[in-house]
């Protein structure tokens, strides 16, 4: 979570509210913030740290691990209408990539602002060309976009 906290300004800059959730109590959240996270980030965690002590919200989202009694690393991107646009779930030993979360958020925002007239191809980054879905584009993506663009 320290990696997300350290980048909170980047989330705020594009109008995204971060919420973190684990089964730990709010008291443990406070001590983790005060004794460790704030030292890693250089300031207090700038977003609400939620306590889902019985895992009921984790169960609602399908990421509660009954055996370990904890929540797996599930990250859900929710749009201004409250609709889930994307999610990623990882087992505990592998951390997230904050850059990828921000990239996906920017892509979803672009699509929303274009009212669905634009789509972001594989590997898209802000500033890169988008695709404009239309009947004419069918069978012609190869003229508009090269596979190499996904990885450069």
Residues 11-50 that bind other proteins (CB under 8 A): 11, 14-33, 36, 44, 46-50
User: Does the protein bind other proteins through residue 58 (CB under 8 A)?
Assistant: yes
Neighbour tally for 111: CB within 10 Å? 17
Instruction: Give the up-direction half-sphere exposure of residue 108: CA atoms within 13 A in the CB hemisphere.
Output: 20
* Shortest Å, Cβ 138 to other proteins: 22
Place of tokens 């921000």: 102
Report the phi/psi class of residue 84: left, alpha or beta, with left for phi > 0 and alpha for psi in -120 to 50. beta
Applying CB under 8 A, the span of 70-78, 116-124, 128-136, 140-148 interacting with other proteins comes to: 70-78
Q: Which is nearer to other proteins, 22 or 145 (CB)?
A: 22
User: Does the protein bind other proteins through residue 78 (CB under 8 A)?
Assistant: yes
> 105 to 144, contacts with other proteins by CB under 8 A?
105, 108-109
Q: What is the DSSP string of 125-144?
A: -TTS--B--SGGGTTTHHHH
Q: Which is nearer to other proteins, 98 or 137 (CB)?
A: 98
């Amino acid at each position: 979570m320290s990696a997300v906290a350290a980048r909170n300004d980047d989330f705020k800059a594009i109008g995204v509210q971060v919420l973190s959730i684990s089964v730990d109590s709010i008291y443990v959240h406070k001590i983790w913030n005060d004794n460790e996270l704030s030292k890693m980030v250089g300031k207090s965690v700038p977003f609400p740290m939620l306590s889902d002590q019985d895992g009921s919200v984790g169960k609602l989202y399908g990421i509660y691990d009954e055996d370990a009694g904890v929540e797996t690393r599930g990250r859900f991107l929710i749009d201004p209408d409250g609709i889930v646009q994307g999610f990623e779930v990882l087992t505990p030993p592998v951390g997230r990539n904050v850059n990828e979360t921000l990239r996906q958020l920017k892509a979803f925002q672009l699509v929303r602002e274009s009212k669905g007239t634009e789509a972001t191809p594989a590997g898209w980054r802000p500033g890169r060309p988008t695709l404009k879905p239309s009947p004419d584009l069918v069978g012609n993506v190869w003229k508009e976009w090269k596979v190499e663009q996904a990885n450069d």
